[in-house]
Structure 1
Amino acid sequence: MRGLGVRRYLGAAALGLALFSAGASAQAETAPEAKLYLSETYNETADPAADVQQAIAVADGRRILLEVGGDWCVWCKILDKYLEDNADVREAFGESFMIVKVNFSREHPNTEFLGAFPDAEGYPHFYVLDADGSFLASQGTAELEEGKGYNRARMLEFAERWRKD
């Protein structure tokens, strides 16, 4: 799967979501504030390709940020809490991204889907996709950490770097 391109893999999921996408687009137009997460949990049974297609439909032109991790991941929980507690960083991420949580665990590694991307350095791990689902970048979150949390300036710079004009 690696090297075949994310869009080609995701294309198969698009067919199954055509009806949903039309309805979701209409909902996105009426939403007063952009939603940050497609889903706020790491769902072990979710189809990440379908989730990306759904995110494309409701992201309103923002880029897609794949947050790969799981409920087992301490730093994933720290990231969730950080974004919850830091309104300016949460807002910056919300202006730049629709976040799709992709489960990675021993039981459900999502090997086929994640095989389209460079290897993760650790967890959580970010993959930045353009608004159409094409791969743009891989980002280890260790570079964004500071102490037992995340560095505000680096998090804001990351969000700003990927904000669409």
Structure 2
Amino acid sequence: MKKIILIAALAFTVTSVNAQDTQKADAPKIYNPAADAKADITSAIKKANAEHKNVLLQIGGNWCIWCLRFNNLVTTDADLSKYLADNYIVLHVNYSPENKNEKVLASLGYPQRFGFPVFVVLDGEGNRLHTQNSGYLEEGKGHSKAKVMEFLQGWSPAALNPKSYEEKAK
């Protein structure tokens, strides 16, 4: 009987490990460890400036389930996806053993101190406007659509434009 239980436990462990490896292999690869983050950020800033948008840096790695969950939410939810496209240039900045982008993250005020994913909002001039700890956007085993939308709206170009408030006062 002990042999049967041992064999069953071993089979379960092997199956579980294989399932996890399959999930990792099937996971989207949204971060590129070989990317030149500094050059990509410079390009995103130029594009944001030309389009009157802000830049949203999503910093994390393909190893980070919360990073993948966030990306899945904002790309599959029509409201969030549209709001991002209308207001932000989104760039995924890699943090992994292959490339920690330490100099870039230092220039952004060490956002990795909040864990991953972490979001940095830049304006069209490249000024850092905000660093967002993603833990405040979580709900259950994912992120809250309402909290994410509130975050995006709060740091959008319109929210930071003084004219938005002058017009409301009239």
Question: TM-score with structure 1 length normalisation?
Answer: 0.72
Q: Which residue number in structure 1 is paired with residue 130 of structure 2?
A: 137
Match of 1:118 among 83, 99, 109: 109
The answer as to 2:91 corresponding to 1:100 is yes
Match of 2:62 among 57, 68, 71: 71
1:6-48 deviation line (CA, Å, top 9, x unaligned): xxxxxxxxxxxxxxxxxxxxxxxxxxxxxxxxxx821111111
Per mean C-alpha deviation after superposition, the further-off stretch among 118-127 and 138-147 is 118-127
Structure 2: how far apart are the matches of 1:64 and 1:130? 6
Q: Which residue number in structure 1 is paired with residue 75 of structure 2?
A: 84
Contact 2:46 2:124 survives alignment (8 Å): no
Secondary structure of 1:102's counterpart equals strand
Match of 2:151 among 140, 144, 158: 158
Query: Between Structure 1 and Structure 2, whose CA radius of gyration is higher?
Result: 2
Q: How many pairs are equivalent?
A: 126
Q: Percent identity?
A: 35
Structure 1: how far apart are the matches of 2:55 and 2:140? 27
Structure 2: how far apart are the matches of 1:116 and 1:133? 11
The answer as to 2:45 corresponding to 1:56 is yes
Q: Which runs of 5+ in 2 are unaligned?
A: 1-28, 159-170
Structure 1: how far apart are the matches of 2:87 and 2:147? 15
Q: What is the aligned-residue RMSD (CA, Å)?
A: 1.4
Letter of the aligned partner of 1:90 in structure 2?
Answer: S
| 4+ long deviations beyond 3 Å | none
Structure 2: how far apart are the matches of 1:57 and 1:143? 29
Structure 1: how far apart are the matches of 2:52 and 2:42? 13
Q: Which residue number in structure 1 is paired with residue 18 of structure 2?
A: none
Question: TM-score with structure 2 length normalisation?
Answer: 0.70
Secondary structure of 1:133's counterpart equals coil
Query: Higher relative CO (CA 8 A, sep ≥ 6), structure 1 or 2?
Result: 1
Q: Which residue number in structure 2 is paired with residue 46 of structure 1?
A: 35
